[in-house]
Amino acid sequence: MKIAFILFDGVTFLDFAGFYDVIYRLGQFENGKNLSWDICAASKEVTDEFGFTVKAGKVLPELSS
């Protein structure tokens, strides 16, 4: 299964980190071995509500497949 985490300026990174942690830990189980994900955004960098900035792995990727 492929997952796209779509981030945007003003995001609350704590919300993203909580969900990301769960998905990451699924990979430790047999049913989660086929998981893959990308961190996507509309720009190269995303800034949260407090000014913390991260780089996106993919910028404006095609998400339909």
pLDDT at site 27: 87
pTM of the model: 0.80
pLDDT at site 65: 63
pLDDT at site 54: 94
Question: Tell me: the pLDDT tens digits for 17-62?
Answer: 999 999 999 989 998 889 999 999 999 999 999 999 999 999 998 8
pLDDT at site 32: 87
Residue 56 burial by Cβ neighbours in a 10 Å radius (0-12, 13-18, 19+): buried
pLDDT at site 64: 76
Spell out the domain ranges in the chain: 2-59
Copy the structure tokens of residue 31.
Answer: 């049913």
DSSP H or E stretch at residue 54? strand 53-55
